Structure 1
Amino acid sequence: MLVQPLRSPDLRQAPATSVAPEPKVAVLLNANARKVDARVVKTLSHVLPEEDLFLSRSPLDAWRIVQTVLERGYPLVFTGGGDGTFMGFVNEFLRQTESRGRFAGHALPRFGVLKLGTGNGLANFINASNPSGDGILQDVVRALSGDVAGLRRMNMVMVDGQRTPFAGLGVDGKLLNDYIWVKENLGKGFFKKVLTGSGGYFSAVAFKTVPHYLTHSTWVECEVINGAHEAYRLSAEGSPVGEPIAPGEAMFRGKLMMAGAATMPFYGYGFRMFPFAHQRRGMMHVRLGQVHAANVLANLPKLWNGRWFPEGIHDFHAKDVTIRFAQPMPLQVGGDAAGYRDEVKLSVAPETVDLLDFHGSVN
C-alpha cells in the first residue's frame, strides 16, 4: 500500500537533462511503513543523492515515481516498506512497460528489498539485512559498489490481475485477520513489542486462530482443478511422485481448511509456509491443508520452519489451478486481506523479476 510521505517531494520529475546521465540506484520508500521514519530517510540520504530517494503517499505517486525511474533508466531499484510495497511498485512497473503502456518494450530494472516492512517475507527470501544498526545502509552501499553477486529470478502468482508472491483461501486468510486484531487490540503499551511482528503472528496462531477452530469447523468441501499444463504431486522431500496430473484433471476433491500457492517459501517473519516454492522454474508451490487445529497447534514450530508433512498436507507444483470452495472463504493476497471468495484462479504470471540476493545465491 502506498501512503502519505514523511515529506512532500516534487516526486523528482525534473527533466532528464538536469539529472546525472547514468543513475545507478533508486530507493522507493513507503513512508507509512512502521520502520520507515526520519532516521531511515536521513541515513539513506548520506549515500544517495536527493533525486534518487523517493517517498510515496498514493497510487498516483507510485505511477509518477515509476514513470520517473523508467525515464531516467535506473538499472536497480530498492523498495522499502514490506511485501505489499514491493508488489505495488512491481505491478506499476509492469503496467507501464506492457504493450499498451507508455514505456512498452522497456526492460524492468533489477530489484532489491530493504527490510522495512511488517512481515518481510521477500526480505527474508533474499537475505536482506536487519534494519538495526547500519544493515539497510550497508545493503544499499554494497549495491552501489557492485558488491552483490547473487541474483534470484523469481516467478510470481497471478490473482485477479495482480502479481504477488503468495495468495490463499481459508485458514491463512483468517490468520491474517487474527494477527491484525491482535496487533490493533492487544499490541499496545507494555505489550506492543511482544504482540507486533513475529510475536504477534505466533500469538495470533496459538491463541486466536487455532482456538477458534477447536470449536468451529475448519473443513469445507473444495475441489482444485489443474489448468492447461501438467502438474506434479510432491513428496515430503519436494520431489515429484506418481504420474503427472493432466491438464483439466482434478488435483483434489474433499474437505480442506486452506488452499494456497506461492513462488517463494515465506509468509512473514520467516514462516516457511511453502517450502517447495522457487524450486522449479516457471511453477508455483500449491499447498492444500486437511489437518485438525489441535495437530497444527501441537506441531506449530515444525510447520513454521517448513518441516511438518502430515498426511493432511498435500503439496504440488503447478502452473495454474482453479480452487472452488462450497462456501465463501477468507482470501489473502500477498499478506493483505482481500475479502471472501468461493472461487479463485491462481496462475504463474508470464513475467519474472530479478532480485538481488545478499548471500550471493545465483539462480
Structure 2
Amino acid sequence: MTFIRVLIVPNPLSNFSSKLGASQKDVTSGRPDRASETPLSRTRVVRDPGKCAVFLNARAKGWTGELHHDIQRFVSPQDLFLSDDFRQADRTVDRLLAAGYEAIFTGGGDGTICYLMSAIEKRIRDGKISREEAPPVGVLRMGTGNAIASFVGAGEVSEDLRALRAGAPLVVHEVDMLQGPHVLPDDDGLYPFAGVGWDAEVLNGYEWFKDVVHGTAVENYATGLGGYVASLAHTIPKTMRQEPVHVVIKNTGQRAMQLDVAGNILRRFEPGETIFDGNISVCAAATIPFWGFKIRIFPRAAQYPGLAHLRAYDGSVPWILRNLPNFWKGKFRPEDIYDFLIESVSLTVRGRDMPYQVAGDGVGYASEIEWGVAPSPVRLAVPMR
C-alpha cells in the first residue's frame, strides 16, 4: 500500500492571529474530482488501497431497488455487510477489523457514520487495535442530512461504488470530532455536531414521527426531508410560544476565544472561566461547517485543528423563516449570535431541560452537557473520481 501526501505544511494559524476571518487558500485546489471542505494539510491520497468493505444500514432512506442493483454490480458479496440496526452490530465491526480491510465504507446518514467511527474508536481505546492499524471509515452519501458526506466530498453513491470497484485511489481526510455520550451506550461516542434548542425540538419530533409511521404504507413518504418538514410545521408554533432559556457555558479546555462575525478575536478565556451567561433559543457546537442538507451553519468549523465552532443564538424563529438564504449560509444579525472557538466546554441549562440532538438525531432532553474535541482526529475516506 502506497501513501502519497498531497501537501504537508505547518499550520500558519497555530498562534491564532487576531484576524481569524482572513481568506485562506482554496482547499479544493489540486483535487478536481471533489468539492471537499478539508484543508489539504489534513488530506492524503492512497494510490493502491487494496480490499475495501461496504457496511450498510439497510433502513437508510437511500436504500432503494436501484441502489440494491448497483451494490450487486459493484460490491463483491464477501465484502458486503448489511444491518438494519447498527446499535446491535458490534460483532460485525469486530469481523471487519479482523479481516484486515484497508477501508470500511458505510452509509445511511450521519448517525450511521458516527456509529462506525465510535465503534472503531472504542476498540482503539480498549487496546484491541492500534490507531495506526485501524482502517479509515469510508463515507457513502446515503440517508438524509449527509453533513459528513458533504464535508468530505462524497459523490453520488452509485458512482462512488463504481469507482471503488475500479480500484480508484482513496482520498483520506483527517477530521476532528466532538466526543461525549448518546452515540454508544455507556461510552464516549464521536460526532461532528450537537446542539440544544428548537432545532433539537424539530429532530426529536422527527424521531417520534418516524416511530409512529414505521411499518405503515406512508413510511417511505414520511421519512427523510418530508418528515423533517412535517416535524418543523408541528414544532414552530410551539417554539414561538416558548420563552428563551438561560444557559451558562464554561471553558473546560485550555483554549477558548470569542469571535465577531468577521472572525476577529474579541476575547480569550482562561480555563474554568465562564464564556457565556445568558438566554438562548439554540446553542450548538461543531467540528465541520455543515448541519445537514448543506446548511453551512458553522463557518469557522474545521479551519483550526483541535478546535470546534460554538454558536449561541438568541434570535427568533420568525427572523430565520424570513431570512432563509442567510440562515442556509450561517449568517445572522450580529446582535443575535455569539461565536466561539473552543476545545471543550460545559453547558448548564437553568429553568427547564432543553431538547438535545447529536449528529442530526434527536436524543431527548438535557440540562447538563459537555462538549469537547476528541484528542485524535478520525480518518474518513472517499474514492477519487
Q: Which residue of 327, 338, 349 maps to 2:363?
A: 338
What CA distance in whole angstroms lies between the structure 2 residues aligned with 1:102 and 1:42?
A: 36
Q: Could you tell me how far 1:144 is from its partner in structure 2? A: 4.5
Task: Please list, as runs of the form range in 1=range in 2, the aligned pairs for 1:1-363 lying within 5 A after superposition.
Answer: 24-59=51-86, 62-98=89-125, 100-104=126-130, 107-129=133-155, 135-145=156-166, 147-148=168-169, 150-160=171-181, 161-180=188-207, 196-198=223-225, 200-202=227-229, 204-205=231-232, 207-217=233-243, 219-237=244-262, 239-326=263-350, 327-357=352-382
User: What code does the residue aligned with 2:146 have?
Assistant: N
Distance 1:245 1:119, change over 3 A: same
Q: Could you tell me how far 1:59 is from its partner in structure 2? A: 4.9
**Any gaps of 5 or more consecutive residues in structure 2?**
1-48, 182-187
CA-based RMSD: 2.8
Is residue 344–residue 373 contact of structure 2 (8 Å, CA) maintained in 1? yes
**What is the aligned partner in structure 1 of residue 29 from structure 2?**
none
What CA distance in whole angstroms lies between the structure 2 residues aligned with 1:314 and 1:177?
A: 25
Q: What is the DSSP-based 3-state SS (H/G/I as helix, E as strand, rest coil) of the residue aligned with 2:379? A: strand
Q: What is the DSSP-based 3-state SS (H/G/I as helix, E as strand, rest coil) of the residue aligned with 1:270? A: coil
What CA distance in whole angstroms lies between the structure 2 residues aligned with 1:359 and 1:315?
A: 35
What CA distance in whole angstroms lies between the structure 1 residues aligned with 2:85 and 2:227?
A: 27
Q: Could you tell me how far 1:309 is from its partner in structure 2? A: 4.3
Moved over 6 A (4+): 182-192
Q: What is the DSSP-based 3-state SS (H/G/I as helix, E as strand, rest coil) of the residue aligned with 1:311? A: helix
What CA distance in whole angstroms lies between the structure 1 residues aligned with 2:79 and 2:60?
A: 19
**Any gaps of 5 or more consecutive residues in structure 1?**
1-21, 130-134
Is residue 163–residue 383 contact of structure 2 (8 Å, CA) maintained in 1? no
Q: Could you tell me how far 1:209 is from its partner in structure 2? A: 3.2
Is residue 224–residue 252 contact of structure 1 (8 Å, CA) maintained in 2? yes
What CA distance in whole angstroms lies between the structure 1 residues aligned with 2:362 and 2:151?
A: 22
* Per-residue CA distance 1:138-188 (angstroms, 9 max, x = gap): 212324545456432111111221111111112221121244466677999
Distance 1:223 1:209, change over 3 A: same
Is residue 83–residue 121 contact of structure 1 (8 Å, CA) maintained in 2? yes
What CA distance in whole angstroms lies between the structure 1 residues aligned with 2:217 and 2:334?
A: 39
Q: Could you tell me how far 1:340 is from its partner in structure 2? A: 1.2
137-146 or 248-257: which moved more? 137-146
195-204 or 343-352: which moved more? 195-204
Distance 1:29 1:165, change over 3 A: same
Q: Could you tell me how far 1:62 is from its partner in structure 2? A: 2.1
User: What code does the residue aligned with 1:137 have?
Assistant: S
Provide TM-score, normalisation by structure 1. Answer: 0.81
What CA distance in whole angstroms lies between the structure 1 residues aligned with 2:322 and 2:227?
A: 18
Q: Could you tell me how far 1:224 is from its partner in structure 2? A: 0.6
Alignment identity in percent?
Answer: 33
Q: Could you tell me how far 1:247 is from its partner in structure 2? A: 1.3
Is residue 79–residue 85 contact of structure 1 (8 Å, CA) maintained in 2? yes
What CA distance in whole angstroms lies between the structure 2 residues aligned with 1:112 and 1:167?
A: 22
Provide TM-score, normalisation by structure 2. Answer: 0.77
What CA distance in whole angstroms lies between the structure 2 residues aligned with 1:62 and 1:106?
A: 23
Q: What is the DSSP-based 3-state SS (H/G/I as helix, E as strand, rest coil) of the residue aligned with 2:68? A: helix
* Per-residue CA distance 1:185-235 (angstroms, 9 max, x = gap): 799989975x65345435644x33333232222x11111101121212123
Is residue 151–residue 288 contact of structure 2 (8 Å, CA) maintained in 1? yes
What CA distance in whole angstroms lies between the structure 2 residues aligned with 1:57 and 1:127?
A: 26
* Per-residue CA distance 1:111-151 (angstroms, 9 max, x = gap): 2221221222212222222xxxxx32221232454545643
How many residue pairs get aligned? The number is 329
What CA distance in whole angstroms lies between the structure 2 residues aligned with 1:103 and 1:143?
A: 25
* Per-residue CA distance 1:217-269 (angstroms, 9 max, x = gap): 2x1111110112121212323x2412322211111111111211111122222
Is residue 97–residue 107 contact of structure 1 (8 Å, CA) maintained in 2? no
User: What code does the residue aligned with 2:56 have?
Assistant: L
Q: Could you tell me how far 1:272 is from its partner in structure 2? A: 2.0
Distance 1:43 1:295, change over 3 A: same
What CA distance in whole angstroms lies between the structure 2 residues aligned with 1:201 and 1:142?
A: 32
